[in-house]
């Protein structure tokens, strides 16, 4: 297929446009200072919001910028965590800058299909974003407020993204009728005075600390096999992290929540939690945590007996863990064995269990060794190798008894099945 003018096929992107208020009235030196401060704040705000630089395409617009973000980055970040961080960073910049180097911005967020061509990018969705940015209600909101950032979103973005995500604080937005050139739309605007100030930021830091304590207690409950309690604690932690827009914290808490749900055999819930954890860690560019989340998602699918999906996620996790995390590598290998086991590929399962056992021994992961030996015994038994199964289960029993885990009863039952008279 030939695309005229060197244009490529349409691709979906989140569109972020910014414009600095009063830029043209400044001297060249002040403009340069403003640009330096703006881009410094932009880069940091995107990074701290979990938006990887590799997922962004940026065009300078002199008095602002246009940034296109790939669809693998959750859109909610651009209307929740990102503008809040950018507002805080601009306030910090302005606190140490002379009056003509201070920065106040209008920000527009939309999403849609765009085309790359030999000259840059184009598309109706981009036009819409810039029409929103030029809307009089947005300009008036910034001009009449001491705040530093006024945000506007399209009606579609508000309904599909902002309203659906607590971290975006939909209640802080108000409708705005936009009439710029050909665009007539009911958009949604968040005024400059709605972003957290210094005292609010300190309160958010306190909340974040509480969320991490809740998560820590959730993991402690798991160590005592109290999974209902653990799930409740992680649910509370997730709600706080989500409200604060803390992507890494939410992903961490979701990982613990998903594990608790798996232990409670609530596998569909576990799949949902681990899938979101994968999404958030990938958006944050955290490959190590993404590998862990993919491994956990593989076990959740295995709990549903969906071993095809389980195998796919374990393979993805294995590829990441090879160069990021030895402990996760052990559990990914064990998961590959478990998925192949579920698919009745016993020889392949045994190979992966044995490789996982080697990794677990290297990292002195005793629970991992016990799990690998237990499942290795199951595979041997299904291949009519009772002696090999007995050896694996006896070694697993020694580990589980030493760790005082509930797994002991299951191993003893397996051993007794080999000799019904015992």
Is 348 inside any structural domain? yes
Confidence of residue 207 (pLDDT cuts 50, 70, 90): confident
Distances (CA, A) of 21 to 30, 71, 104, 131: 13, 29, 6, 16
C-alpha torsion 377→381→387→392, nearest 10: 0
| Alpha-carbon gap, residue 289 to 207, rounded angstroms | 23
> Rg of the chain's alpha carbons, rounded to an integer?
27
**Which of residues 195, 210, 225 is at a domain's end?**
195
Does 85 lie in the same domain as 189? yes
| Structure token pair of residue 106 | 């209008």
Residue 176 lies in a domain: yes
**CA dist., res. 364 & res. 51, Å (int):** 35
pLDDT average, residue stretch 71-87: 92
Residues 247 and 370 in one domain: no
Q: Is residue 297 part of a domain?
A: no
Confidence of residue 405 (pLDDT cuts 50, 70, 90): confident
Q: Domain residues for 415?
A: 306-422
- For residue 344, name the pLDDT band (cuts at 50, 70, 90): very high
Same domain, 190 and 202: no
Q: What is the pLDDT of residues 28-46, one digit of tens each?
A: 999 999 999 999 999 999 9
What's the pLDDT at 136?
A: 93
Handedness of CA 246, 249, 251, 256 (dihedral sign): negative
134 and 75 share one domain = yes
Assess if residue 103 is contained within a domain.
yes
Per the structure block, which two tokens stand in for 152? 């506007």
Residues 63, 13 share a domain: yes
**pLDDT for the residue numbered 2:** 40
Nearest to 237 by CA among 207, 202, 196, 267: 207
Three-state secondary structure readout of the chain: CCCHHHCCCCEEEEEEEEEECCHHHCCHHHHHHHHHHHHHHHHHHHHHCCCCHHHEEEEECCCEEEEEECCCCCCHHHHCHHHHHHHHHHHHHHHCCCHHHCCCEEEEEEEEEEEEECCEEECHHHHHHHHHHCCHHHHHHHHCCCCCEEEEECHHHHHHHHCCCHHHCHHHCEEEEEEECCEEEEEEEECHHHCCCHHHHHHHHHHHHHHHHHHHHHHHHHHCCCHHHHHHHHHHHHHHHHHHCCHHHHHHHHHHHHHHHHHCCCHHHHHHHHHHHHHHHHHCCCHHHHHHHHHHHHHHHHHCCCHHHHHHHHHHHHHHHCCCCHHHHHHHHHHHHHHHHHCCCHHHHHHHHHHHHHHHHHCCCHHHHHHHHHHHHHHHHHCCCHHHHHHHHHHHHHHHHHHCCCHHHHHHHHHHHHCCCC
Q: For residue 203, how many other CB atoms are within 10 A of its CB?
A: 10
CB 269 within 8 A of CB 307: no
Please tell me whether residues 32 and 160 are part of one structural domain: yes
Place of tokens 């299904």: 382
CATH label of the domain that carries residue 225: 1.25.40.10
Do 223 and 168 fall into the same domain?
no
**pLDDT above 90 as % of the chain:** 68
Domain boundary residue among 285, 320, 339? 285
Please tell me the total count of domains within the chain: 3
Instruction: Note the Cα 373 to chain centre separation in Å.
Output: 33
Do 191 and 202 have their domain in common?
Answer: no
Predicted TM-score (pTM) of the model is: 0.57
Question: Average pLDDT of 278-295?
Answer: 91
Q: Distance (Å, rounded) from C-alpha 50 to C-alpha 260?
A: 25
Give CA–CA dist 371/330, Å, rounded. 11
User: Do 188 and 201 belong together in one domain?
Assistant: no
The pLDDT of residue 197: 64
Residues recorded for the chain = 422
Q: pLDDT tens, 124-152?
A: 999 999 999 999 999 999 988 889 999 99
Domain assignment present for 229: yes
In a domain, 301, yes or no: no
CATH of the domain at 166: 3.30.70.1230
* End position of a domain, from candidates 168, 195, 222: 195
Let me know: does 271 contact 278? Beta carbons within 8 Å. Answer: no
Does 344 share its domain with 401? yes
Over residues 209-247, the pLDDT tens digits come to 888 989 999 989 988 889 999 999 999 999 888 877 788
Would you place residue 198 in the very low, low, confident or very high pLDDT band (cuts 50, 70, 90)?
low
| 214 and 142 part of one domain | no
| 140 belongs to a structural domain | yes
Handedness of CA 152, 99, 93, 282 (dihedral sign): positive
On whether both 314 and 191 belong to a single domain, the answer is no
Mean pLDDT of the chain: 90
Per-residue model confidence as pLDDT tens digits over 364-401 = 899 999 999 999 999 999 999 999 999 999 999 999 99
With pLDDT > 70 as the criterion, what percentage of the chain qualifies? 95
Q: Say if 354 falls within a structural domain.
A: yes
Cα separation of 212 and 207, whole Å?
Answer: 9
């Amino acid at each position: 297929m030939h695309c005229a003018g060197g244009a490529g096929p349409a691709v979906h992107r989140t569109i972020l446009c910014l414009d600095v208020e009063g830029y043209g009235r400044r001297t060249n030196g002040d403009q340069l200072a403003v640009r330096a401060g703006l881009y410094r704040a932009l880069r940091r705000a995107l990074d701290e919001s979990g938006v990887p630089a590799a997922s962004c395409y940026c065009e300078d617009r002199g008095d602002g910028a246009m940034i296109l973000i790939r669809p693998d980055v959750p859109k909610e970040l651009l209307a929740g965590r990102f503008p809040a961080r950018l507002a805080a960073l601009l306030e910090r910049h302005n606190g140490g800058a002379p009056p003509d180097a201070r920065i106040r911005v209008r920000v527009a967020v939309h999403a849609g299909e765009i085309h790359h061509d030999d000259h840059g990018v184009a598309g109706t969705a981009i036009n819409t974003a810039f029409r929103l940015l030029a809307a009089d209600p947005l300009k008036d909101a910034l001009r009449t407020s001491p705040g530093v950032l006024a945000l506007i979103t399209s009606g579609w973005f508000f309904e599909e993204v902002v309203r659906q995500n607590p971290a975006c604080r939909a209640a802080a937005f108000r409708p705005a009728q936009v009439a710029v050139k050909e665009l007539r739309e009911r958009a949604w605007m968040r005024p400059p005075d709605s972003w957290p100030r210094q005292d609010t930021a300190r309160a958010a830091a306190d909340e974040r600390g509480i969320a991490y304590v809740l998560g820590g207690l959730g993991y402690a409950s798991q160590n005592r096999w109290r999974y209902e309690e653990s799930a409740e604690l992680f649910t509370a932690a997730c709600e706080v992290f989500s409200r604060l827009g803390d992507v890494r914290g939410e992903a961490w808490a979701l990982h613990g929540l998903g594990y608790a749900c798996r232990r409670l055999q609530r596998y569909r819930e576990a799949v949902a939690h681990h899938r979101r954890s994968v999404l958030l860690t990938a958006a944050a560019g955290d490959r190590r945590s993404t590998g862990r989340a993919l491994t956990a998602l593989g076990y959740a699918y295995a709990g549903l007996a969906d071993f095809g999906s389980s195998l796919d996620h374990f393979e993805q996790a294995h590829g990441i863990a090879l160069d990021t995390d030895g402990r996760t590598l052990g559990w990914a290998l064990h998961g590959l064995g478990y998925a192949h086991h579920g698919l009745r590929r016993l020889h392949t399962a045994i190979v992966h269990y044995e490789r996982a056992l080697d990794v677990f021994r290297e990292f002195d992961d005793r629970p991992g060794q016990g799990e690998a030996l237990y499942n290795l015994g199951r595979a041997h038994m299904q291949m009519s190798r009772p002696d090999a199964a007995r050896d694996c289960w006896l070694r697993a029993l020694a580990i589980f008894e030493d760790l005082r885990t509930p797994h002991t009863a299951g191993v003893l039952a397996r051993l007794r099945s080999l000799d019904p008279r015992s």
